[in-house]
Amino acid sequence: MSSQLESTFESPLDQLRRNGHLARLFIDGEWTPPGGAERVPLVCPSTGETLAELPLGDAGDVERAVQAARRAFVRWSATPPQERAAYLGRIHALMLERAEDFAQALTTEMGAPISYARNAHVPLAAEHLRVARDNLAGYSFRTQRGATALVREAIGVCALITPWNWPIYQITAKVGPALAAGCTVVLKPSELSPLSALLFAEVVEAAGLPPGVFNLVNGTGPEVGERLAAHEQVDMVSITGSTRAGVLVAQAAAPTVKRVAQELGGKSPNLVLPDAALPRAVSLGVAAAFRNMGQSCSAPTRMIVPRALLPQVEELALAAIEAMVVGDPFADATTHGPLANRAQFERVQTMIQAGIDDGAKLLTGGLGRPTGFTRGWFARPTIFSGVRSDMTIAREEIFGPVLAILAYDSVDEAIAIANDTVYGLGAHVQGTDLDAARAVAAQIRSGQVHLNYPAWDPQAPFGGYKQSGNGREYGVEGMEEYLEIKSILGYYA
């Protein structure tokens, strides 16, 4: 940021304080104080210092938001698709206008390096809105099958529960297609990363969305998330979070038999075939595992490599780590900032100790903060080799900068290792023989498989097998999660 811009730039936190929105919920088109008295600290991940206190919503706020969404649903669901697309276009444009605000908010609330916030978090989040708008413009809500009309209709009021690790990205991945489908929404963002969600509510307000179509209630999972999931006037709940959180939401939703879409945990494999271009396969594999400081549900944190190539893989992995710059997330040169919160820092330390206790070979990193850091939630980028599938670090999601390297003797064994997990969210396969890589991809049980590090595709459906969840986000399939199918027999008679 230039010195001239720095002198005039007002931080998102200060903006929200000044306009009073930091202490407000957004319900029925109005900024309103929460009904409860509970507050949580907003903690700076770089220092551990409290920056502000966030008021949280309660059961009464949930009720007000759900009823506002219910009232708005009748008109919004009947709005012509081209009008809904126009609203999404305005939200997309306004978000891009405030891209720097969003980037600064992400760095403040969850420690994303500012360069990564600017180049990944914010633009990829905006893409979900563009894709939702574009898919809506060409979508057929009524098709013919013989004499029967197949009609797709908005499912209703949707509760959207989003996480702290990709805050705005996951908000737009849910809000965009839900609004495109004609649903009204109540968003419960993580109380640990509220700033970007509040900025998004400001963007929605500025876009002129009708009151009640979008509502935001900050709060905890037990007080707000589970109440939304259990509410009889909520027709669907979509959650991105841990598998444990997904189970709790599904249990709360079960008595009302509502649809539950879950994007949950992962322990994604990165299977390096014997013919892979090894320098590229390993360096990009380390980068992918450690993107967002390893706090990504689909991060490929198990690198599965030919045993004969293990010494070369270890050398290349160490070289990849040396290129990383762990530091102040507001510095342009920083590639990796702190973990997002204390609980995650402590989780990562526990898992690194488990790797040591299980006898894995510690190549680099380890316990504690990097040299020179005495505060904040900074962790040491860590690589273990000689990892077996029965070790804790190979089985449990760590959600931090920890990579496990596992060796195999045959491709069949490698596929078995890749599938030896309760998760099935993402996977990677590296190999120069594309037919062979495709054959391996076909045998991996996960919702997405990436061959040779392709470009991100916002139209590619994303979701999990097994305990990684159910349902799909992104692309047309992401919008169809928010639609019911009605058959009208004799329509074309």
Q: Is 207 left (phi over 0), alpha (psi -120 to 50) or beta?
A: alpha
Listed residue (5, 2, 445, 63) closest to 230, CA to CA: 63
Residue 50 bridge partners (DSSP):
43
Catalytic residue among 297, 397, 473, 481: 297
Q: Which residues, 6+ apart, have CB-to-CB distance to 489 below 8 Å?
A: 147, 148
Q: Annotated catalytic, 183?
A: no
Q: Is 398 exposed, middle or buried (0-12, 13-18, 19+ CB in 10 A)?
A: buried
The alpha-carbon radius of gyration of the chain (Å, integer) is 23
Report how far apart the first and last C-alpha atoms of the chain are (Å, whole number): 65
| String of DSSP letters for 112-144 | --HHHIIIIIHHHHHHHHHHHHHHHHT--SEEE
Least Cα distance to 198 among 183, 184, 218, 179 occurs for 218
**Cα 225 → chain centroid:** 17
Q: Nearest 5°: phi and psi at 58? A: -135, -170
Nearest to 369 by CA among 411, 394, 336: 336
Q: Would you call 389 exposed, middle or buried from its count of C-beta atoms within 10 A (0-12, 13-18, 19+)? A: middle
Tell me the angle at which helices 167-181 and 195-206 cross, rounded to the nearest 10 degrees. Answer: 30
| Rounded distance between C-alpha atoms, residue 5 and residue 334, angstroms | 20
| Strands of the 142-145 sheet, one edge to the other | 142-145, 148-154, 483-488
Instruction: Give the length of the chain.
Output: 493
Q: One of 223, 263, 314, 480 is an active-site residue; which one? A: 263
C-alpha distances in Å from residue 368, one per residue of 353, 378, 456? 10, 8, 33
Q: Is 127 a catalytic residue?
A: no
Pull the structure tokens for residue 85: 């697309």
d(CA 199, CA 22): 10
Active site (catalytic) residues: 263, 297
